[in-house]
């Protein structure tokens, strides 16, 4: 299905639903690169939505690491499972609140937080607690409130996290119109990343 080692699978290759969000391919490629995954690593996708990040994680760890996907929404869980099957990769998909599921998961090398259901601070703290030394945490969000809470959580963790980076990504995509090509802007996205000290 996707024969390349680079992230950024085109959105149209994924099974989609109007009710379930997807991290768009350009933002997904950046977020995956910030995770710094490699073969044999394990990772968690918090707020997996359509499963696009989960699939990309699985492809990066090349089937030799464990990937866990969490979402509160049953439609998201089912869609993630469909996309995993479509791309021929495996992950453990769990329906539930991240606050309830994260403490039961093993330590991993990377966590991507894409959905926090309004409690980014606690989810960030729990996610960072699942990281091995040197592990990476990445948050991608379009909400200012989530950005604020995530940064507050990082500040509260003090010396436990290092290499903190905050990047705002604004992407516009071309669309043909009758008179030429116009650029349509997408929502700006904040990508926050850090390494477990």
pLDDT value at residue 117: 74
Distance CA 49, CA 78 (A): 9
Please say whether the beta carbons of 42 and 36 come within 8 A.
no
Give me the residue label for tokens 């499972």: 81
CA 173 remoteness from chain centre: 21
pLDDT value at residue 5: 83
Give me the residue label for tokens 């990476």: 136
pLDDT value at residue 120: 86
pLDDT value at residue 197: 92
pLDDT value at residue 70: 97
Which DSSP state fits 160?
G
pLDDT value at residue 194: 96
Helical (H) or strand (E) element with 124: helix 120-129
Q: Write out the CATH class of domain 11-196.
A: alpha beta
Helical (H) or strand (E) element with 148: helix 144-157
* Residues 140-191: tens digit of each pLDDT: 999 999 999 999 999 999 899 999 999 999 999 999 999 999 999 989 999 9
Residues of the chain with pLDDT under 50: none
DSSP one-letter string for 54-121: HHHHHHHHTTSS-EEEEES-HHHHHHHHHHHHHHT---EEEES-HHHHGGGSPPEEEEEE---TT-HH
Reduce the DSSP state of residue 127 to 3 states and report it: helix
CA 28 remoteness from chain centre: 7
Cβ-based neighbours of 3, under 8 Å, separated by 6 or more: none
* Cβ-based neighbour number of residue 47 at 10 Å: 24
| Token pair of 27 as six digits | 């933002």
Beta bridge partners of 185: 172
Please say whether the beta carbons of 178 and 36 come within 8 A.
no
Please say whether the beta carbons of 197 and 133 come within 8 A.
yes
Helical (H) or strand (E) element with 131: strand 131-141
């Amino acid at each position: 299905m996707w024969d390349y080692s680079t992230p950024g699978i085109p959105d149209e290759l994924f099974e989609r639903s109007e009710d379930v969000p997807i991290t768009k391919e350009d933002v997904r490629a950046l977020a995956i690169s910030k995770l710094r995954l490699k073969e044999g690593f394990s990772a968690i996708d918090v707020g997996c939505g359509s499963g696009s990040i989960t699939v990309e994680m699985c492809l990066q760890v090349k089937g030799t690491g464990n990937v866990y996907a969490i979402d509160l929404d049953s439609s998201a869980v089912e869609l993630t499972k469909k996309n995993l099957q479509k791309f021929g990769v495996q992950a453990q998909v769990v329906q539930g609140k991240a606050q309830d599921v994260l403490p039961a998961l093993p330590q991993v090398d990377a966590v991507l937080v894409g959905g926090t259901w309004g409690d980014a601070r606690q989810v960030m703290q729990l996610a960072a607690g699942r990281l091995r030394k040197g592990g990476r945490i990445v948050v991608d969000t379009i909400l200012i409130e989530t950005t604020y809470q995530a940064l507050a959580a990082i500040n509260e963790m003090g010396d436990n996290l290092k290499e903190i980076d905050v990047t705002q990504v604004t992407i516009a995509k071309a669309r043909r119109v009758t008179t030429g090509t116009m650029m349509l802007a997408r929502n700006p996205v904040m990508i926050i990343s850090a390494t477990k000290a």
